Structure 1
């Protein structure tokens, strides 16, 4: 059998292997150096150039080049050679030190680094720090929110709800139900300045409060239509009245699957009794702290962005009229949300987040 030209043997000393493993797990060294360290480790383990090229998404020629460079020059061969032009003023070590300090430490009197603070602390220019941050996608000025569910039946509930989205039952309607409470009827203290050529819409920063309303909504995941009702409060009595309206709106021959969160109103004894007396109703609770799993929350985001947040309302009745007008127009042109996430993909993403939190991610 033809096997091609034999490769030069690659063996590592204990010190080289320890250094390469440190490089390969680093989150502050240049990505190219990290990838070359992995290449050498995999090659020492006996992997072929073809296998390594597939994992790194490189060509076999590139893998062979860096493998040979390491054999000839050892660790120093993994670094880029000097190129024509003005010599670099910032070494790889300085870049690595900047990234390590930014990722591992806090500024002396603050919660996060600014470009100016990082530049002063590391003896670099602001433009250099900005280029390094941009090259490595380091954004100390930004943060994102997360909340892990503490529900002991998280996995079962995720599979239950996602199963309804991806494979809804026959002869049934699946409704994503929730309420958006305390929507304020805010009226600006001065008239809104309309948008024009060269300038944006102008609104005053202060406003007058005229009261609040609660919007109950049931989103049909198959058609995208929304059934809504505004009420003054959001106790179990109002939720029960909304369930009765759903019962009237859904044809008698269909089963009704309701996806709701764990708000106490949805679990009140009177609500449970009413549901128990109607066998065609089946209620599915999302896991705690998992409102993102309820599709109607996305619709609440749409109506907030398009009709409520920038609105100016003279009274609660005016606010409710605007909400009803939006809903009527939305239902005439509605489309269902395209849910693509499987239960397994959600659980895998959660596992990655837990790994990062525990500090075991590489």
Structure 2
């Protein structure tokens, strides 16, 4: 188990981050883990105190020892890089919320604004992404329906119990 040694400046920063309302809860918890480890507690003691797994304490203890304060920040997530920039997102939002083409319903106007704002529908959902003719769909007349197989029942002759005797 690696020993955590803090400078006065690191200790003050960790305490401030752990208490600050604007800090993410994950970062605040990591700060509390490091502060507990710096107090000489074992991984198990810190885990019980914070209500987390000892493996989690060990992970953040080792990261802090290896990388210092930088080790407490989230690492980049796996996956490809973003294909749409923040500027493109802003253009789409402005176009969607502030412009409305003539002769368009509310939904259609938002969809067409978003599509025209970025030049292609890549950032918007489209119904059919494949080129060429759409596959045939069944119309409501072609589809079998359970109620079409049975004759309609005449309910006019049915009366509620007691209705003919001045009841309900």
TM-score normalised by length of structure 1 = 0.22
Instruction: Report the structure, 1 or 2, having the larger helix content.
Output: 2
- Rg bigger for which structure? 2
